[in-house]
């Protein structure tokens, strides 16, 4: 990771919570090619860290992320006659794919407006909290492109085909209250409290048994493409090893003793 990219994608861990911050407020937190690599690295680093039980993704300044930085023609390489089209496409290490496959819960703290790639990045998180002055702009078709980072897969599952089609086909911009009404975000909070609200939620998640939380997320992800019978079978197979964990014994003991559980993640 380059030094510039590390400054544009900040990373810190405290109290079992990793916070990834997009830090280019002077260009509305648009994401460059090196930043895509840095974001992937940070997401994987947080997911591998056994001390991290929740991940917050947010931005600095007035915007969460206004999309990809297209000032050079393409965020990943050259422009004009220098640009070459690859005959292969490997998206396994791109942020949307990595984000989707993380077992660690993710919270997007929409400190400001998100458009294009920024909107897809937010939608890819498990939970979204939104500042009351922020907006979501599905501005893809208005730029002659499609939601390239998961939006066409996520939106119909979140809000149904008809409403997703309306948003994508029109490239419409939504205010915070409409995002909450549609179910695109879990909660709208005053702009000056968005960081505190996201951290409080992350700490609440971090207080639960981390292996159980991660297994629950894994099962939810698998269940989106399984029959009920297959899913119940897979859930049972996930449950068996959890019965053998210290956290299971601690969870049962704390319940019987009417005290707060102290989970270790093992």
pLDDT for position 207 = 93
- Both tokens of 165, joined, read 């089609």
187-189 vs 127-131, strand pairing mode: parallel
At 24-50, the pLDDT tens digits run: 999 999 988 889 999 999 999 999 999
pLDDT for position 141 = 72
- Predicted TM-score (pTM) of the model is 0.87
Query: How far apart are the C-alpha atoms of 214 and 78, rounded to whole Å?
Result: 39
Query: How far apart are the C-alpha atoms of 34 and 17, rounded to whole Å?
Result: 24
Q: Which of 51-55, 146-150, 182-186, 254-258 has the lowest mean pLDDT?
A: 146-150
* pLDDT (mean) for 167-184: 92
At 194-252, the pLDDT tens digits run: 999 999 999 999 999 999 999 999 999 988 888 998 888 898 898 899 999 989 998 88
Long-range contacts of 19-23 (CB under 8 A, 24+ apart): 19/55, 19/56, 19/57, 19/58, 20/46, 20/55, 20/56, 20/57, 20/58, 21/57, 21/58, 21/59, 21/60, 22/57, 22/58, 22/59, 22/60, 22/64, 22/65, 23/59, 23/60
Q: Which residues contact residue 254 at a Cβ distance below 8 angstroms, ignoring those fewer than 6 apart?
A: 260, 261, 262
Confidence band, pLDDT 50/70/90 cuts, at residue 56: very high
pLDDT for position 214 = 94
At 78-104, the pLDDT tens digits run: 334 444 555 555 666 688 889 999 999
* pLDDT (mean) for 151-169: 89
pLDDT for position 84 = 54
- Both tokens of 225, joined, read 């493409």
147 class by beta-carbon count within 10 Å (0-12 exposed, 13-18 middle, 19+ buried): buried
Where are the domains positioned within the chain? 3-206, 210-256
CATH architecture of 3-206: Alpha-Beta Complex (3.90)
Token pair 């909290």: residue? 129
pLDDT for position 14 = 96
At 116-142, the pLDDT tens digits run: 889 999 999 999 999 999 999 887 776
Above 70 in pLDDT, residue 77?
Answer: no
DSSP string of 107-154? EEEE-SEEETHHHHHHHTSSEEEEETT-EEE--SGGGT---TTTHHHH
Query: How far apart are the C-alpha atoms of 214 and 52, rounded to whole Å?
Result: 11
pLDDT for position 3 = 67
């Amino acid at each position: 990771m380059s030094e510039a990219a590390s400054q544009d994608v900040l990373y810190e861990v405290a109290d079992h919570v990793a916070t990834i911050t997009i830090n280019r407020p002077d260009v509305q937190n648009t994401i460059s090619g090196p930043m895509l690599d840095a974001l992937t690295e940070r997401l994987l680093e947080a997911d591998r860290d056994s001390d991290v039980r929740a991940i917050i993704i947010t931005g600095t300044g007035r915007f969460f992320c206004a999309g990809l930085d297209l000032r050079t023609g393409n965020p990943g390489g050259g422009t004009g006659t220098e640009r070459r089209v690859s005959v292969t496409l490997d998206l396994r290490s791109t942020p949307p794919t990595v984000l989707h496959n993380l077992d660690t819960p993710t919270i997007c703290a929409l400190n400001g407006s998100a458009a294009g790639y920024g909107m897809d990045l937010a939608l890819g998180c498990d939970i979204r909290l939104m500042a009351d002055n922020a907006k979501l702009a599905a501005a893809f078709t208005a730029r002659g492109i499609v939601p390239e980072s998961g939006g066409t897969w996520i939106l119909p599952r979140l809000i149904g085909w008809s409403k997703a089609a309306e948003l994508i086909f029109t490239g419409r911009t939504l205010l915070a209250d409409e995002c909450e009404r549609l179910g695109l975000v879990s909660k709208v909070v005053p702009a000056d409290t968005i960081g505190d609200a996201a951290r409080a939620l992350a700490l609440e998640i971090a207080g639960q048994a981390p292996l159980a939380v991660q297994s629950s997320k894994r099962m939810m992800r698998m269940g989106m493409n399984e029959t009920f019978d297959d899913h119940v079978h897979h859930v049972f197979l996930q449950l068996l090893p959890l019965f053998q964990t210290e956290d299971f014994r601690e969870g049962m003991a704390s319940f019987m003793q009417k005290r707060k559980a102290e989970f270790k993640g093992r």
